[in-house]
Amino acid sequence: MTRSGGHEVDMVQVARRVLQENGFEPDFPPGLEATIPAHDPQETARDMSDLPWSSIDNEDSRDLDQVEVAERLPDGSIRVLIGIADVDAFAPRKSAVDRAAWTNTCSLYTGVHTFPMLPEVLSTNRTSLLADGRDRLVVVTEMVVLKDGSLDDTKTAVYVARLINHAKLVYERVGAWLEGVSGAQVPETRIADQLKLQDEAARRLRALRHQHGALDLETIEAHPIMQDGKVVSLEVQHKNRARELIEDLMIAANGATARLLEKLDRSSIRRVVAKPKRWDRIIELAQSLGTTLPAEPSAKALNDFLAKRRVADPARFADLSLSIVKLLGPGEYQLQRATDPDIGHFGLAVEDYAHSTAPNRRYPDLITQRLLKAVANKEPAPYSDDDLAALASHCTERENAARKVERTMRKVAAAQLLSSRIGETFDSIVTGATEKGVFVRLLNPPAEGRVVRGEQGLDVGDAVRVKLIDTVIERGFVDFARA
C-alpha cells in the first residue's frame, strides 16, 4: 500500500483496473484449471533428455519458454537446437484454455503484479521448462549456423521431443562470466562448454545481421522495485552478453521457422516492422549530431550512425536509442502466404520473421507452434488464411493495448516514487510528441511523464529540463512544466 491524497493506494488493484480499462481480463474464467488434463499428453516424441540442455532467464522467472543446446560439426559449423515449451499439447486449439489465452493474447507484466496468459499450473509448472529433473514436452527447432553467420536452411528441422533442463541460469551471472568479469560464478563444466559454443554461434549470427544493417540499440526500461506494496526505486535492465546470446538465437530460430513454413507452401503469421514513417525526424536527429543520413530509410546507414554514437557518447546512447525506437514505430502481425512478398523487420534487418519462441507468454507464438507441429506431423494446416488474417489483426490490437497497460503502470510507479518530490527540476529527453501531448523520460530516476506547460516546439529526441508540478498515483499522472 502507498498513500495518495491522504488515502491508501493498492497498487495491484490499480493494475487490475488499468487492465480492465484496456479490454483485458485480469482473471481466468471459473473452473478453467479443471479442464486441463490431469496427465501429460502422450505425444510421439524423440527422447533427448540426455543432452546438456540449459536455460538463461531472469532470476525470478518461472514461465520458462525455451532451452538451448549446441554441437560443433566437423566443417566448423554449429548445430543449435532450441527447445520450445509444447504449450499446444496442453492447450489445443479451441480448448477452454486456448479460448482464455486468445482473450488477452499475452502475459501482462505490470511491475507490481504479473497477469499470465495461461493458468500458472501450466505456465509456471507443466509447460514451463524448469530445471527440476522432470522431462518436458518441447517443439525443437534445429538449425545449422555456418562460419559466416548464415543459416543452412536445407538443414532446418522441426520436431516434437522430450528433454530435461539441466541448469536454470541467470542473465546477469552468465553475462558476467562470458564477459570475463573477475570473480564471476563459473557454471558446471559441461554447461560452461555449452555456453561458450552457443555464444560463438550467437556472435556469428549477430555479426552477419549487423553487416545487413540490424540496429544495435540499448533502450532503458525501468521496472519498479516493490517493498511492502510501495515502489521504492526504478531498476534498469542493461544488455549483457548473455541477453544478447539468447536474443540472437531466438531471432535466428524465428527466421528459420518462418522460412521453413514458406518453403513448404504454408501460410503463417509474420512479425513485421516496416520502414519508419518518421525517417525525416531521424535524419534531423542525426544532423544535429553531425551525421548525414540518406533521404530514403536505410537500416545499414542508421546502424553505422548508432555505432559511432555509442563510441562518441556512451553515457547518452540509451537516450538516443529510445528516441530511435519511438520514431521507428511499433511492429504488427500480418498474414504471410507463401507467395506473398516479404515486408521484413526493419530493426532486425531480416526479411523473414515469425514469433515462435515464447508460447507460454504470447499467443502468436502458440499459433506458430501449431503450424510447425502440423508440418512436423505431416498434417494439414490447422488454420485457413482467413483465420490467420483475423488472428493477426486481433493479436496486433491486443499487443498495442498491452503496451498501453505497461506504459500506464510505469507511470503509476513513477507517480508513486516522485509524489514526494513536487517542485524539483530534472533533466529529461522527449519520448513522444503527438496530438495527445508531449511526453518525457527523466534521466534520473528513469521515470516518464507529460509536459503540460511549455511543451510547444518539443519533438522526440529533444533534451529538456523540466519541473515536476503534480502527480496522481491512481491514474499514473506525472505532470511537468518546461523549466
pLDDT tens, 383-406?
A: 999 999 999 999 999 999 999 999
Share of the chain above pLDDT 70, in %: 98
- Of 284, 307, 329, the position where a domain reaches its end is 329
Q: Provide the CB-side half-sphere exposure for 98 (13 A, CA).
A: 15
pLDDT of residue 39: 84
- State mean pLDDT over 133-140: 96
pLDDT(346) > 50: yes
Q: CA 434, 436, 437: angle at the middle one, nearest 5?
A: 70
Q: Is residue 245 part of a domain?
A: yes
- Do both 292 and 262 map to the same domain? no
Range of the domain at 146: 32-273+332-402
- Of 361, 379, 402, the position where a domain reaches its end is 402
- How is residue 118 written as a grid cell? 495461461
pLDDT(2) > 60: no
pLDDT of residue 379: 95
- Cα–Cα distances (Å) from 217 to 117, 307, 309, 348, 389, in that order, read 28, 9, 11, 10, 31
Q: Is residue 432 part of a domain?
A: no
Residue 258: how many other CB atoms lie within 10 Å = 24
pLDDT of residue 216: 79
pLDDT(228) > 80: no
- Do both 248 and 365 map to the same domain? yes
Q: Is residue 8 part of a domain?
A: no
Query: Maximum Cα–Cα distance for the chain, whole Å?
Result: 70
CA-based nearest residue to 235, from 252, 244, 223, 251 = 223
Q: Is residue 96 part of a domain?
A: yes
Q: Is residue 17 part of a domain?
A: no
- Do both 186 and 247 map to the same domain? yes
Return phi, psi of residue 210, to 5°.
Answer: -70, -35
- Do both 193 and 66 map to the same domain? yes
> Where is average pLDDT lowest: 9-18, 226-235, 354-363, 453-462?
226-235
Neighbouring residues of 84: CB distance < 8 A, sequence distance ≥ 6: 65, 66, 138, 139, 140, 141, 253, 356, 357, 359, 365, 369
pLDDT(4) > 60: no
Contact 93, 335 (CB under 8 A): no
> Where is average pLDDT lowest: 35-39, 265-269, 467-471?
35-39
- Do both 286 and 173 map to the same domain? no
> pLDDT tens digit string along 403-439?
999 989 988 999 999 999 999 999 999 988 888 899 9
- Of 311, 329, 347, the position where a domain reaches its end is 329
- State mean pLDDT over 152-175: 96
* 3-state secondary structure at position 398: helix
- Mean predicted lDDT score pLDDT of the chain: 92
pLDDT(220) > 70: no
- Do both 179 and 325 map to the same domain? no
- Do both 120 and 203 map to the same domain? yes
- Do both 199 and 317 map to the same domain? no
- Do both 187 and 320 map to the same domain? no
pLDDT(310) > 50: yes
- Do both 281 and 308 map to the same domain? yes
Q: Is residue 450 part of a domain?
A: no
- State mean pLDDT over 70-82: 98
- Cα–Cα distances (Å) from 271 to 33, 325, 346, 347, 399, in that order, read 31, 16, 11, 11, 12
pLDDT of residue 238: 75
Q: What is the rounded distance in angstroms from the CA atom of residue 167 to the CA atom of residue 173?
A: 13
**Overall number of domains in the chain:** 2
Return phi, psi of residue 20, to 5°.
Answer: -65, -35
pLDDT(5) > 80: no
Contact 442, 425 (CB under 8 A): no
- Do both 188 and 325 map to the same domain? no
Q: Which helix (DSSP H) or strand (DSSP E) does residue 246 occupy?
A: helix 241-263
Share of the chain above pLDDT 90, in %: 72
pLDDT of residue 7: 52
**38 falls in which pLDDT band (50, 70, 90)?**
confident
- Do both 239 and 310 map to the same domain? no
Q: Is residue 25 part of a domain?
A: no
